[in-house]
Structure 1
Amino acid sequence: MYISQIIRSCMKKVLMVLLTLVALLLAGCQSNEGQGKEISGEVKVAGSSTVYPITAAMAEEFNKLYPEVVVSVQSTGTGGGFRNFFIPGLTDINDASRPIKQSELDEARKNGVEPLEFLVGYDALTVIVNPENDWAECLSFDDLRKIWGPDATESITRWSQVNPEWPDEEMHLYGPTSASGTFDFFTEHVIGESGAHRQDYHGTEEDNTIIQAVARDKDAMGYLGLAYYLENKDKVKAAKIKSEQGECVEPSIETGQSGEYPLARPLFIYVNKESLKKPAVREFVKFYLENLDSGIVEEIGYVPVSKDQKEENLKKLSEALKDLGLE
């Protein structure tokens, strides 16, 4: 009798140990699934230098969950990304600091690429000067047109020619090339004519090159995305921009969010619908859109989208996946 009780007790203990081991194994499997270790492949992204920091940060966080996926992100400028990579079908995603042009959309569709547009945040395009510049502290759109307009190549080469109270020193100008969405936005919204821009300036797709040039030259000026300025506030100074009400408004996440800042603009990613058939691309886009309100966009230095916009993005993705038979 006593021996049978001992046997039953031992069997109970063995059973409990076995159940515990099974539970641990199941938890481990679920953990691996959550980390996405079963997904591999590559996600190819090119495009806007302004959106680049957001996408790069999203890729870094995504790789913590999906370490077998390679996300390659190139900063080529919005137009350069569309023209050289996305439209020919060489990339899955194009970062863009402006909406896709109708001509780009038509060309993409000719090549079998169907772009899906997702709004991922807002930027406050920032005009920067050297910290020693104590004259161009608040600029009107008229000032900016005088400096950057296509006619300025011949007539405006010195600060005093913009405003006689400013120093009689030669201006040195730095900005993005015509392949950039930042260039497109600036020419359309500031100069008033898409593509209209003086030619005698130093054009580059490297925003850090603009930062470095302005930081070392008291007579320099440039323009770029807010995130690059916020990252380098100790090296350069942001000029305030005069609003329609005549107020001088400083670029910031807060003034971009409120709409006070005159040079606030939307930021996008464009996804090749066909690329969503690839598990790595599908999961990355889903992760990207789900984390637009996680603090990543704000940490980079941009204005996040609203909750409603986030839901609209996810709904659009879901509809695309249903069309492809993936949901």
Structure 2
Amino acid sequence: MERKAYLLFSGGLDSIIAAKLLQKLGFKVVGVHVTSPFFEKEPEKLKELAEKLGIELKIIEAGDDYLEMLKNPVYGYGKNVNPCIDCKAYMLRKLKEIAGDEGVIATGEVLGQRPMSQHMQAFRSIEKLSGLKGRILRPLSGKLLPPTIYEEQGIVSKEELLDLKGRSRKRYPEILRNLGIDIDNLPTPAGGCLLTEPSFAVKVRDLMEHGELTWENVRLLKIGRHFRLGDCKLVVGRNAVENATIRKILSDKDYLITVPGIPSPDALLRCKGEPERDVLRIAAGIVARYSDAKNEPKVEVAVYRNGKLIERLEVEPIRDTTPYSVTHKGS
């Protein structure tokens, strides 16, 4: 009977080693990769990597339930808005849905490698939150950890596991050689977790504070300069590519603001309801400030909605503004 191991697969070096070690132990490995706009990796490179490793790959997208978790994680955040323990438990629940009651559930985690999510207490918390107590095999540190159900049942021998600990990778070259891994010939899908980045975390917190945390709005965070104007969000393009993206993603309710006739950013104004008059003028002033007319005393700015010109505003460019430095509380 074929033995399967379902591995939480990031595409990083630790999950690569875990995949090859599980194969060496006689398992058919199914890599499960959870993706979202917060931690995207190139799917084609992931597929190419899985093929070279000889493992099956399943890529699944985080759903709205991930956003609900992000608003109020059981174990809180790291330095920014990274809910590392809750995030790992979420991914493992998704992996469990795929695996069912079949096979071994595994990760490439290393004891002590990450301060928030890879210490002994964090491992216990992840197992409790994911509903997988005693059922998560961590083969890279297995010799140092309490036995899992797989060791108790004789499915895996603790002596066959590794005893890696901490952030040092001095032993990795020898481990790679022993497992027959030529890392130089493997594709390495780029990408980290944006929730750990301070500037991105500010924008995510803003969405949460204003009840606007949706995947559509999260994707918008990855382009442009962002300004909060009361119940409105202004996103100002920084180059031609971002301008084109803004025009492409405009909804029927969004406003497009630009300075006609001269080099200018395109900006998207997205509001919960109809924007107040002074909000439109502030938004127009910000767009004028980033146009080639920024040094003019007055600039004519065009406002479009649903593809139609609805207004031309003559405004003074707002000076010396930076993202989130201009706010409008409203009445």
Q: Do both proteins adopt the same fold according to a TM-score greater than 0.5, normalized to the shorter chain?
A: no
Is the radius of gyration larger for structure 1 or structure 2? 1
| TM-score class, shorter | under 0.3
Scaled by the length of structure 1, what TM-score is found?
0.25
Higher percent of residues as helix = 1
